[in-house]
Structure 1
Amino acid sequence: MPRTIVRRSVTSLAAFALLLSVGACGANASSSTNSDKNLKTVSFMLSWAPDTNHIGAYVAQKKGYFAEEGLNVDILATSQAGAEQAVSTGAANFALSNTFNVGVANIKNAGLKLLAQIQQRTSAIWCSLASNTSIKSPKDFDGKTFATFGANESDAVIKRMIQTDGGKGEFDKVTVGTSTFQTLSSGKADFGGFYTTWEGVQAELNGPKLNCWNEPDYGVPGNADEIGIITSDAEISKDPRTVQGFTRAIQKGYTWAYEHPDEAAQILVDSAKDANLDIKFVKRSMQIITEGNYWGPRDEVKAGTFTIGTPDPDGAQKYFDFVADSGAYTDQNNQVVTTPPVATQQIDTQYLIPGADIVKAIQ
């Protein structure tokens, strides 16, 4: 679950390798979609291999929510350049991304907007192998080796966590070549980044066991993982009705999945067959998402008093400011940018449908 994965590259590179190996596994899922000529075909690009972050799109497709909006949606495997660039250039109409990635891309004039923020709390975890007894808390990352995908942003997060825990914030790095799990198990690195809703499930069910810490508990402000649905300013200007219909359908898909996690897990497994997802694994991921209220307070979502897709610009801004202070932003000329993106300028909420209307529509 990536942050080239959505926000930053802390996911297992194995997930990206899987995505390349299955090719257009997401596109294959759309082959069963109603191809009636009266439906308008648009594309939704995955941000990495199919997983529970994408599950609302597969549910919306399977349950006919896209078709109800007059849309035939092709679910596409991510491009090597990334979902943000694909949407910016028009290669895809919509994609999974997050507020942070949108802000970073817009520094380079990508012209993107977040339409719906699905994930409401941070899921990134920073872990060492449980067998590595020299690491008992983040301060013990000092002097150790970080398995990184190369993002300066991740360096800033680790430094802040170490210093908040009483350490100096000094560590070595090695670039992950296959997967973070493999890099740690080989002894080439001591700690790395994962996601509790995916790699955390892998560690729980299949090993290796991990000791993990959450970045908000160690001084990292805001919400770095505001995962959601993006489109381009050009798409909004050109075809607002399609944007509205897609947003409404995707809200229905994620809301239904939140209310029916086991059934949604089966839809994902059946729809993304080439990914060879294990149903036990996917159900456990959905269990963590629902029990942890990752997409919002679940009781309130069911009651229609909380709308899936609600943005959190305050949380995004705090994280934008933190990253700016670390000097991790660069423009299209690779020059450091010290002014953070403005969170409210990365978000377009005009197409969100109130939670009560969504709940009524999927009953």
Structure 2
Amino acid sequence: MEVFTLKKYLLLAISLICVFAVMVSGCGNKQSDKELQAITVGVMPDIDSVPIIIAQEKGYFAEEGLKVNIQQFKSAMDRDAALQSGNLDGAISDLLAVAFAKSGGFDVKVTAYTDGDYKLIAGKNENVISPKDLVGKDVAVSKNTIIEYVTDQISVSQSMKEDSINKVVIPQIPTRLEMLQNGKLAAATLPEPMGSIAVANGCKFVTDSEQLGINPGVMMFTAKCVDNKKAELQAFYRAYNKAVKYLNEHPQDEYMDLIIEKSGFPAIAKTALKLPKYREAGLPQEKDVVDCMKWMNSKGLIKQEFSYKDLVVDLFK
């Protein structure tokens, strides 16, 4: 009798454990199946945006259960206005734009580096071999942006004074490229692929941010998005990394038509541009952030002295 009762209680206990396990499992699945909120991201006509476009077009965002709305911009000014008006959750951007936003009371966070390159290109009729050959000449930039920062860093690297070249402010990237190609400028600093396109059309490569060893390009999201959509951003970067893997494992010919169609790159980019080996999402180096902030403070562009931790958030923990 005692043996029977013991067996009965053991079976009852096992049954209760099984029921509890099923309940916990069910709750867990319900949580993991929770629908992700959509995010809206701004991109520019540059190579930083390519992994995002591939992630969208190859369905990697969809695989993660994430809807991403991509908005195209031709100037940093328009992109930043859209971000601060609440039309974007995040954007392909740079450390300067992040600091400007934060300094103005609009809280944004750097979530990852990007793999852009910024080239100083001289006109086809200019006798230019090094940056020093541009002293006293017109060089097109976009004011108080990554483009001007890279241009100044090039001058510093050549022991040139910042005012030794005549900076001409042309915010629109396609306009800057067109004026350079038409001989209306001695030189211009351009993001890729516009730099390579200018060279393919007869202009002359002088130097670039890669040779300087600087990388101020970043992906940023609003602090509100970081706080309220962490799962969405983690899904975003899982899809981004799938796109990076695809780009690095497949020849450019396989996807360049798609990139040109979706990014707004000129058709010549198909033959003129060599894409970099993209890196999986990760955080920028502290030196890149510190050097950029020092430059901004030295020019009086911001009053605050932002630290690395003030600007960068780690979503990859």
For the aligned pair, the TM-score class normalised by the smaller chain equals 0.7 to 0.9
Contact 1:248 1:351 in 2 (8 A): no
Aligned to 2:123, which of 104, 126, 129? Answer: 129
Q: Secondary structure at the match of 2:179?
A: helix
Question: Any idea what the Cα deviations from partners look like across 1:260-308, whole Å, max 9, x if unmatched?
Answer: 25234344245x28x4753x624653x3413xxxx34xxxxxxxxxxx1
* Residue number in structure 2 paired with 1:57: 52
Rounded Cα–Cα distance in structure 2 between residues aligned with 1:245 and 1:202: 34
In structure 2, relative to structure 1, the CA distance for the partners of 1:211 and 1:252 (3 Å cut) is: closer
User: More displaced, 52-61 or 85-94?
Assistant: 85-94
The answer to whether structure 1 residue 150 and structure 2 residue 143 are counterparts is yes
Rounded Cα–Cα distance in structure 1 between residues aligned with 2:169 and 2:66: 41
Where do 1:231-246 residues align within 5 Å? 231-246=221-236
Structure 1 residue 72, shift from structure 2 partner? 2.0
The answer to whether structure 1 residue 289 and structure 2 residue 287 are counterparts is no
Q: Secondary structure at the match of 2:43?
A: coil
Measured on the aligned residues, the alpha-carbon RMSD in Å equals 3.3
Q: Secondary structure at the match of 2:276?
A: helix
In structure 2, relative to structure 1, the CA distance for the partners of 1:184 and 1:259 (3 Å cut) is: same
Rounded Cα–Cα distance in structure 1 between residues aligned with 2:178 and 2:55: 35
Where do 1:131-280 residues align within 5 Å? 131-133=125-127, 135-151=128-144, 158-159=151-152, 161-162=154-155, 164-169=157-162, 170-176=164-170, 179-195=175-191, 197-205=192-200, 207-215=201-209, 223-227=214-218, 229-262=219-252, 263-269=254-260, 272=262, 275=264, 277-278=266-267
| Structure 2: stretches of 5+ with no match in the other structure | 1-33
In structure 2, relative to structure 1, the CA distance for the partners of 1:150 and 1:64 (3 Å cut) is: closer
Rounded Cα–Cα distance in structure 2 between residues aligned with 1:203 and 1:78: 20
Where do 1:317-336 residues align within 5 Å? 317-330=289-302
Greater C-alpha radius of gyration: 2
Structure 1 residue 97, shift from structure 2 partner? 1.7
Amino acid of the structure 2 residue aligned with 1:254: V
Rounded Cα–Cα distance in structure 2 between residues aligned with 1:136 and 1:269: 31
Contact 1:55 1:264 in 2 (8 A): no
Rounded Cα–Cα distance in structure 1 between residues aligned with 2:145 and 2:228: 35
* Residue number in structure 1 paired with 2:28: none
Contact 1:55 1:265 in 2 (8 A): no
User: More displaced, 96-105 or 147-156?
Assistant: 147-156
Rounded Cα–Cα distance in structure 2 between residues aligned with 1:79 and 1:185: 18
In structure 2, relative to structure 1, the CA distance for the partners of 1:255 and 1:84 (3 Å cut) is: farther
Q: Secondary structure at the match of 2:136?
A: coil
Contact 1:125 1:213 in 2 (8 A): yes
* Residue number in structure 1 paired with 2:313: 348
Contact 2:138 2:167 in 1 (8 A): yes
Q: Secondary structure at the match of 1:223?
A: coil
Rounded Cα–Cα distance in structure 1 between residues aligned with 2:206 and 2:74: 31
Identical amino acids, percent of aligned pairs: 18
In structure 2, relative to structure 1, the CA distance for the partners of 1:325 and 1:105 (3 Å cut) is: closer
Rounded Cα–Cα distance in structure 2 between residues aligned with 1:181 and 1:79: 12
Rounded Cα–Cα distance in structure 2 between residues aligned with 1:155 and 1:105: 17
| Structure 1: stretches of 5+ with no match in the other structure | 1-37, 297-307, 331-336, 353-363
* Residue number in structure 1 paired with 2:11: none
Question: Any idea what the Cα deviations from partners look like across 1:5-60, whole Å, max 9, x if unmatched?
Answer: xxxxxxxxxxxxxxxxxxxxxxxxxxxxxxxxx965624333334x5322222222
Relative to total residues, which structure has the larger helix share, 1 or 2?
2
Rounded Cα–Cα distance in structure 1 between residues aligned with 2:145 and 2:47: 27
Q: TM-score, normalised by structure 2?
A: 0.73
Contact 2:37 2:232 in 1 (8 A): no
Structure 1 residue 185, shift from structure 2 partner? 4.7
Q: Secondary structure at the match of 1:82?
A: helix
In structure 2, relative to structure 1, the CA distance for the partners of 1:109 and 1:223 (3 Å cut) is: farther
